[in-house]
Amino acid sequence: MNKFVIAVYVENKFGVLTRVTSMFTRRGFNIDALTVGETERPDFSRITISLSGDGYAREQLINQLRKLYNVKKVEVLMDDAIKRELMLIKVRYTSENRADIISAADIYRGKVIDYTVSEMCVEVTGEPTKIDAFIKLMMPFGIIEMCRTGIVALDRGDSSLFDKE
| Residuewise pLDDT in 10s, the chain (165 residues) | 688 899 999 999 999 999 999 888 888 888 889 999 999 989 999 999 998 888 887 888 899 999 999 999 999 888 889 999 999 999 999 999 999 999 999 999 999 999 999 999 999 999 999 999 999 999 999 999 999 998 999 988 887 776 765
> Is residue 164 domain-resident?
no
Q: How high is the pLDDT of residue 56?
A: 82
Residues 65 and 6 in one domain: yes
| β 31-38/2-11 pair status | unpaired
Q: How high is the pLDDT of residue 10?
A: 95
> Is residue 40 domain-resident?
yes
| Count of structural domains within the chain | 2
Phi, psi (deg, nearest 5) at residue 70: -80, -5
Q: Which domain holds residue 67?
A: 2-77
Q: How high is the pLDDT of residue 29?
A: 82
Residues 136 and 100 in one domain: yes
E strands, 39-142, are 44-53, 71-77, 82-92, 111-115, 119-126
Q: How high is the pLDDT of residue 155?
A: 87
> Is residue 160 domain-resident?
no
Q: How high is the pLDDT of residue 130?
A: 96
Cα–Cα distances in angstroms (integers) from residue 5 to residues 20, 37, 60, 88, 149, in the given order: 15, 16, 14, 22, 15
Burial 120-135 (b: 16+ CB within 10 A, else e): bbbebebebebbeebe
Q: How high is the pLDDT of residue 80?
A: 86
CA dist., res. 38 & res. 128, Å (int) = 22
> Is residue 159 domain-resident?
no
Residues 48 and 25 in one domain: yes
